[in-house]
Structure 1
């Protein structure tokens, strides 16, 4: 596994570009797929279809975040193991990741299928939204285990120095979905079920590509049957670090639960559709920050394992600056063309009039998202689960959810939109403050750069 050795020798900016650009392209493509999916559903199914997808998204990603958490937790261990010259530990970690991902992915998919209606009702599927949501989610659940595997694989490819492969793992489902959406939804007339089948097939293709690359043997892993047997200590370490990702998505799902019910209470089904459009655009705006965040983790983890602390500090600083600048540029572009962008999703003039001002309010502090994402990922890469967990939960758990419970009582629907920029600003302040505090405790060795 020599591809990752350059993490300790090549210039930081070169490494960030090499890791972050493929990651950002993958996330961008995935975001575009989400947007295209919503456009087709919005134009051929209607606002009820958008609302149904909006309800299902947090549940789907909560389950798939198990694979993501196992992937990131294991990738942190693998990066540090490679940095400290322990390939056997890297092999054992990867084997345990495979076992954990499939066992838990299948278990949670079956659990959701058994209790599908009560789960969807809790997450805001009420009135006319309920039946389309059941139709959509029951099909999506078939692909969740393979989605979890693809999510897990994505982190591993970056950890062993194959960011372009990780990018393809994310691009494949987007391309498949964009091809199948018009066929299943528009041509065959399958409606919301067509969107679900397109998404499920896209998960299968993504996982198949990841499996194909692993079987080619280029990643350098040489696992045996014994590596697949769960090791209690290693499993605990994987979940200790990966639980940060799982907890983040868990809080995001809780956020959607509170949000969807509040939106339905103060604005009805159309308000949920409004946020469905806003959420898709948030994914697009956050592409640079997420890409740079994911790209920085293996660099930080490897250099920390190799005790090259000056390179760790430099990676953190450059990642934050780059992500903030790029996010600000994209944010400004979307802010200028808000009416035109919203008009692509729907021709419903009432929905457009509701969405434009709501989108502009919720996006006010979005460029500051880089501070939270990168600071939490930084501590994950170092293997420090507690600060990573606390910083991960800051926005949704400590600020946004409480604000969503309080502000609508005074400002109704506007209170929901106002909660977002307030939470973003407060989170950025907390994350910056903690990073400054933590950096004072680390003694850097100038000779290690």
Structure 2
């Protein structure tokens, strides 16, 4: 515990951010391969039906985002408590947060599985599934729902591992899961000729293995946290704080899910199956671009949380500024790649020339404000780490709920399909401005305290 405390509180900011961010970034990039690999293999395996297969995975994505939102609510909420408690040397509270996180996520993920399985068809239709897409979306989603418990558990506990400063274990968890998925995908999809069902089965097995690894991590005593069965019982103050802080993560995922639903339905009206598939591919390419930035943020959060708890505000400001610079470089690089080579990237997923051509024009519009996204990601995460629930919640929903969804509903009425695509850079630009104003005020407050 003391070694990690010295690292977070005393080592050079650039050194400790690099030390924590590189494993997290590697893990997040590998994690991004999940949906990429599933989509690539499904697109290649289904041949003439590749558009419907890719669109089916796209339709299923909101359900995965809801599961992710539940896991991140508990994972990030408890991680914030743990990192600040360690900084304040309140180790008992950190242990309680761990136990409460485990019991809560097990209960919530079970409920998601039950209700999701009961209402799967109405949900998929709500999410924009056409008659030709529905069979593929159903086959994929039904199996993914069965793996909710292991997926949610892994994501929740991995955030806790990262909060205690053990970035390498968090990285290894994701590498094991994604690496195994890459190996199993062709076996189930091609070898066993299971198509889109095989992609889902490979994903669930991979997530189960990562959950087993995390259980081993805590049982082996490698963690600085101590698990007690008694801590599974709810502690009202810890539970409320976890949910309050983590709510912004659920809001981000839920609003992201709502965003996908609105966009899928708009595309079904103005473009059809092929443009739903286009959105699915572009969304996965965006995720692959965002993951390195999220990795840097995950490396940043323990530093900010610890030093905020220790009232070392200068390190909070310095580490945040460095993270903004790093994520901005990555977002600019991502913009260049996606803007210059969209056809080549789409060709990885499919041989359907119509899909490639449609994807090229859509991608070049959607990425126009991508250079600003790195700043947004850092800004939104800072408030969660500081335990400031209200601004964290607001920034979590600003891009999707306040800007993107209204624009997707309004612009296509004037510009048809083009209106759907142009809504993305406009909403990113507006979200950047809001985040900049809020973070500038927070930065000034920290500066005032230090002077």
Q: TM-score, normalised by structure 1?
A: 0.97
- The answer (yes or no) to whether the contact 2:278–2:358 under 8 Å persists in 1 is yes
Question: Which residue does the alignment assign to 1:8?
Answer: 9
Question: Which residue does the alignment assign to 2:394?
Answer: 390
Name the CA distance, whole Å, in 2 between partners of 1:368 and 1:443: 24
Question: Which residue does the alignment assign to 1:140?
Answer: 144
Query: What is the correspondence of 1:40-189 to structure 2 with a 5 Å cutoff?
Result: 40-45=41-46, 46-189=50-193
2:133 match: secondary structure: helix
Greater Cα shift, 160-169 or 26-35: 26-35
* Unmatched tracts of structure 1, length 5 or more: none
Which of the residues 351, 361, 364 maps onto 2:355? 351
2:132 match: secondary structure: helix
**Cα shift readout 1:311-342 (whole Å, capped 9, x = no counterpart):** 00111111111110122123213322221111
Name the CA distance, whole Å, in 2 between partners of 1:380 and 1:371: 15
- The answer (yes or no) to whether the contact 1:71–1:155 under 8 Å persists in 2 is yes
Name the CA distance, whole Å, in 2 between partners of 1:280 and 1:70: 25
**Alignment coverage as a number of residue pairs:** 447
**Cα shift readout 1:155-179 (whole Å, capped 9, x = no counterpart):** 1111111101111111122111111
Question: Which residue does the alignment assign to 2:22?
Answer: 21
Question: Which residue does the alignment assign to 1:340?
Answer: 344
Question: Which residue does the alignment assign to 2:249?
Answer: 245
Name the CA distance, whole Å, in 2 between partners of 1:56 and 1:212: 31
Name the CA distance, whole Å, in 2 between partners of 1:376 and 1:333: 25
**Cα shift readout 1:67-92 (whole Å, capped 9, x = no counterpart):** 22101000100011000110000001
Name the CA distance, whole Å, in 2 between partners of 1:297 and 1:367: 22
1:161 match: secondary structure: coil
Question: Which residue does the alignment assign to 1:313?
Answer: 317
- The answer (yes or no) to whether the contact 1:68–1:246 under 8 Å persists in 2 is yes
- The answer (yes or no) to whether the contact 1:120–1:133 under 8 Å persists in 2 is yes
Name the CA distance, whole Å, in 1 between partners of 2:174 and 2:363: 26
1:442 match: secondary structure: helix
**Cα shift readout 1:178-211 (whole Å, capped 9, x = no counterpart):** 1111111112111111111111111111111111
- The answer (yes or no) to whether the contact 2:338–2:363 under 8 Å persists in 1 is no
Query: What is the correspondence of 1:359-378 to structure 2 with a 5 Å cutoff?
Result: 359-378=363-382
Query: How far off is 1:3 after superposition?
Result: 4.3
Q: RMSD of the TM alignment (CA)?
A: 1.3
* Unmatched tracts of structure 2, length 5 or more: none
